[in-house]
Amino acid sequence: MGWIILMGSLLISGFLIDRIAKKRNIQMNPKEGAKNATDAERIYVETYLHQQRETNSHPYV
């Protein structure tokens, strides 16, 4: 019963956040966010993604 209430409250909160963002015309564009990242942040993310790809391609090593 607790899981149902938790999932329902998460869905309702997500719905409300989306409605508020639409009313305020907040644009959520990942490419725009990438433009504002520093070089160090980009290198960190690319390194992390590369490591994850390697881990996923060889999960039992």
pLDDT tens sequence for the chain (61 residues): 889 999 999 999 999 999 998 888 877 777 777 777 888 998 998 999 899 888 877 766 5
Distance of CA 27 to the CA centre of its chain: 15
Distance of CA 32 to the CA centre of its chain: 14
49: amino acid identity, one letter:
L
* pTM above threshold 0.85: no
Buried b (16+ CB within 10 A) or exposed e, 26-48: eeeeeeeeeeeeeeeeeeeeeee
Going from the C-alpha of 26 to that of each of 13, 20, 53, the distances in angstroms are 17, 9, 32
